[in-house]
Amino acid sequence: MRRDERLLVSKIQDGTVIDHIPAGNALYVLKILGITGREGLRVAVVMNVESKKLGKKDIVKIEKLELKKDDVNKISLIAPTATINIIRNYKVVSKSKVSVPERIEGLFSCINPRCITNQPREPLKSKFRLVSLSPLKMQCEYCGYIMSHDEILRQLTGG
Ligand code: CTP
Ligand code: ZN
């Protein structure tokens, strides 16, 4: 860990560190995880610190929280370079890089108003297929609409 980061925020005892988030995206990561700060969990957010790999990066540390698979998939869409570190008793017990799944079900909605998933009927789970990683594009399996990165981000963050 670099000195400037160490000065900003200390190590955590138990929880999750989401590292190597592209600079400027830490708040989106908190938003998609639904963390508001009112849960009472200890949360540290570090923005725009130096990173060997990325130039600059953000870091989110959340004590006590363990991420579910859907959370990790959502993070991969917003922060494809992110590393998820699980911390137990101050030690990194697991480190993994996120990866964008080839298929995603039910994580965000298709924005095509004519899509069958947006018709008033029995609820239908959204389904998307990865068509491009950079720039991120995912195609709705029902109507063929291709969601751009910005559209996916807006769906995930409700902004
Ligand atoms: N971390 C933490 N609390 C701990 C242990 C680690 O907050 N008790 C944080 C570190 O500050 C770092 C991340 O978890 O942001 C990963 O820790 P570590 O693997 O020790 O750091 P690096 O080797 O620099 O990780 P990488 O190789 O993934 O860059
Ligand atoms: Zn659709």
Give tens-digit pLDDT for 82-113: 999 999 999 999 999 999 999 999 999 999 99
The pTM for the full model equals: 0.91
**Which sign does the torsion angle of CA 52, 11, 38, 107 carry?**
positive
The residue contributing the CA closest to ligand 1 atom 4 is: 11
Contacts of 47 (CB under 8 A, 6+ apart): 23, 24, 26, 58
151 near 145, Cβ under 8 Å? no
> pLDDT tens, 6-15?
667 889 999 9
Q: Which of 84, 92, 96 to mutate to test the pocket of ligand 1 (most atoms within 8 A of CB)?
A: 92
143 near 153, Cβ under 8 Å? no
Amino acid at 19: D
Question: What distance in angstroms lies between residue 115's CA and the mean position of ligand 2's atoms?
Answer: 4
Pocket of ligand 1 (CB under 6 A): 1, 11-12, 17, 19, 59, 61, 83, 85, 87, 90, 92, 95
- Radius of gyration in angstroms for the set of CA atoms belonging to the chain, rounded to a whole number: 17
